[in-house]
Amino acid sequence: MRPKSKSLSPQPSTLNPLPKFLQNQVILVKQTTLQCRGQLLDLSRPVVMGILNVTPDSFFDGGKFAGVDAALRQAEKMLSEGAAILDVGGASSRPGAAEVSEKEELERVVPVVEAIQRHFPKTIVSADTWRAGVAQAAVAAGASIVNDISGGQFDEQMFETVARLEVPYILMHIQGTPATMQQAPHYDDVTLEVLDYFIQKIARLRAMGVKDIVLDPGFGFGKTVEHNYQLLKHLHVFGNTTGLPVLAGISRKSMICKVLKVIPEHALNGTTALHVVALQQGANILRAHDVKEAMEVVRLWEQLEQTGG
């Protein structure tokens, strides 16, 4: 008799067990839609968010898509490959990145968002920014999600702005700032501390009236390689505990490069491998530089999930 195949739904790790209260947690019914300014984004199956950095200094694609024409070509490519969201960012958040002025960030982001909406009017665009002013201008230009690496820590007006704009908010965890975050990051228990951070921030956002929240544990943002893999191994905890969608942003990051001893340009295979793990651990959104390959992961994972026996 053939042995019964194991379930691929998110399971607590046996290698690095969580405290009992999390091992035995009640799994909430997860939110499966986001209301994006009149468009309903369905997250009942995983989707891919295409990274569109309109910056000169991002860690992998800096300078490639600066300017409206180059950004539009890349937007068209990613949409044709299946991206459900385009994440437009005008300020690099790589470790040690220098801060750009709000004026410069606006000049990079707003024309690109406007151009995408003109050429691809049904596209869901997220504004990758920690500044409330940039978030407001980007939404006015056509963006319908705010993706904030700081979780509201770098601009005290962000939560209030998102609540007023009535758009989904991607709440990311970060320890420190991009300039300092990789200078000896420390946690007693990274999973529990990130979860506690989320619970506190969610309560504040809910009190302000923010309805749609996505959680991003912030791989690489104030974490060692070990911290990153602990978070990936326990990614299911965040969605199961809160009932909220979870975003995995691991594309070509140092958690791959340091283990494989490669540069970001050679980290696509490692990214694909970890995308499979992220989906097994309950990720709803894969934030990726390489949309085609990420979509292939989603399709193969779905086939595996749907296959009986």
Q: Phi/psi zone of residue 80: left (φ > 0), alpha (ψ -120 to 50 degrees), beta?
A: alpha
Q: Extract long-range pairs of 250-254: CB within 8 Å, 24+ residues apart.
A: 250/219, 250/274, 250/275, 250/278, 251/51, 251/60, 251/286, 251/287, 251/288, 251/289, 251/290, 251/294, 252/59, 252/60, 252/289, 253/219, 253/220, 253/228, 254/95, 254/220, 254/225
Among the listed residues 94, 131, 223, 287, the single catalytic one is 287
Of 128, 42, 81, 73, give the one whose Cα is nearest residue 291.
Answer: 81
Among the listed residues 122, 131, 253, 292, the single catalytic one is 253
pLDDT value, residue 23 = 59
Residue 141 pLDDT > 60, yes or no? yes
Residue 58 pLDDT > 60, yes or no? no
pLDDT category of residue 59 using cuts at 50, 70 and 90: very low
Residue that wins the pLDDT comparison between 25 and 251: 251
CA–CA dist 126, 172 (Å, integer):
14
Q: What is the mean pLDDT of residues 193-216?
A: 97
Residue 116 pLDDT > 60, yes or no? yes
Residue that wins the pLDDT comparison between 55 and 32: 32
Q: What is the mean pLDDT of residues 108-114?
A: 95
Residue 267 pLDDT > 70, yes or no? yes
Residue 62 pLDDT > 60, yes or no? no
Annotated catalytic residue 253: yes
Query: For 54-68, 77-91, 268-282, which range has the lowest pLDDT when averaged over its residues?
Result: 54-68
- Digit-coded pLDDT (tens) for 207-251: 999 999 999 999 999 999 999 999 999 999 999 999 999 999 999
pLDDT value, residue 264 = 94
Question: Which domains does the chain possess?
Answer: 32-89+102-306 (3.20.20.20)
Of 68, 69, 112, 70, give the one whose Cα is nearest residue 89.
Answer: 112
Residue 7 pLDDT > 50, yes or no? no
Annotated catalytic residue 287: yes
Share of the chain above pLDDT 70, in %: 85
Q: What is the mean pLDDT of residues 178-182?
A: 71
Instruction: Kindly report the pTM of this predicted structure.
Output: 0.89
pLDDT category of residue 12 using cuts at 50, 70 and 90: very low
